[in-house]
């Protein structure tokens, strides 16, 4: 399944990130805790260079806690700090300021020595579409300054947002990279909605998701859709889900589009339980 989605505003955003780096002290990069590798834009490392960075593994309530802890250990170093969060509930967000203080200790020490008490850190927020950047910013600002939506591509222009913890956030639109090399990366991003459903064959996508779940999380699939057994064939399992959920049209045929929409919505909403699509 070949997927490439690189609207013009994304190329512009790459230029803006590079130009605006000199205005910020640190980077907050948001990824999806369910697909930590796939939700990383590989351009971010090159664009951000050695800027201190905090990686937020958002939607960590939807991923396996054990796997998320493995990712935190794997990604952390002196210049990069990692925490699992939920940007909707705010769980984990209190850990950001201590990590930022740790990363920017030299700057804070210099300013304190000059007698400056109210130190404000300027931070750029980056990430691919639909990982929760706007939700995070709204939570930190405690009002709906940034636009939010459950479809990628909502945030378009740069804006500064003040918070109450001595931190100003620069929002940036979500960017994907021009060519998604790996089939696994393409599928993982599509499963979670980081790529617009409108450009996808969602029936084929749902079939691929069933194939993934029947291998890695068969018990979850069976429990959610009340299946007594799973076939080795994903299409047979899709048929079984359709029959269990009444997605049948005249003549007893399965309404595959309805099954696809149902399955993807329930997976994205966490109704199949905590699932990690990737491990370090």
Q: Which residues are annotated as a binding site?
A: 58-61, 130-135, 174
Pick out the residues of the known binding site for GTP: 58-61, 130-135, 174
Cα radius of gyration rounded to whole Å, the chain: 21
DSSP codes joined into one string, 174-235: ----S----HHHHHHHHHHTSS-GGGS-HHHHHHHHHHHHHHH-HHHHHHHTT-S---SSHH
Report CA-CA distances (Å) from 61 to 41, 107, 190, 227, 268. Answer: 22, 34, 19, 25, 12
Record the tokens describing residue 101, joined without a space. Answer: 């203080």
* Token digits of residue 221: 């699939």
Give which of 48, 176, 171, 158 is closest to 103, Cα–Cα: 48
Question: Do 170 and 24 touch, CB atoms closer than 8 A?
Answer: yes
């Amino acid at each position: 399944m070949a997927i490439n989605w690189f609207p013009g505003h994304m190329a512009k955003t790459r230029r803006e990130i590079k130009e605006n780096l000199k205005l910020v002290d640190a980077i907050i990069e948001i990824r999806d805790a369910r697909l930590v590798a796939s939700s990383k834009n590989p351009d971010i490392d090159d664009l951000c260079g050695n800027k201190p960075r905090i990686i937020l593994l958002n939607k960590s309530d939807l991923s396996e806690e054990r796997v998320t802890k493995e990712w935190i250990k794997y990604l952390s170093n002196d210049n990069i700090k990692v925490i699992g969060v939920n940007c909707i509930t705010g769980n984990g967000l209190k850990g950001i300021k201590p990590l930022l203080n740790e990363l920017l200790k030299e700057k804070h020490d210099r300013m304190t020595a000059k007698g400056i008490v109210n130190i404000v850190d300027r931070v750029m927020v980056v990430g691919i579409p639909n990982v929760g950047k706007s939700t995070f910013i709204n939570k930190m600002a405690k009002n709906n300054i940034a636009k939010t939506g459950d479809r990628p591509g909502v945030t378009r222009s740069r804006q500064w947002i003040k918070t109450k913890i001595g931190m100003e956030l620069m929002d940036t639109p979500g960017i994907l990279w021009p060519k998604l090399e790996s089939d696994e990366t393409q599928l993982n991003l599509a499963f979670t909605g980081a790529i617009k459903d409108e450009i996808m064959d969602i029936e084929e996508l749902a079939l691929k998701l069933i194939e993934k779940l029947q291998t890695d999380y068969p018990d979850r699939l069976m429990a959610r859709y009340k299946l007594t057994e799973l076939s080795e064939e994903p299409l047979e399992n899709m048929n079984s889900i359709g029959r269990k959920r009444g997605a049948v049209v005249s003549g007893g045929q399965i309404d595959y589009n309805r099954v696809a929409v149902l399955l993807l919505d329930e997976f994205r909403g966490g109704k199949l339980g905590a699932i990690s699509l990737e491990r370090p």
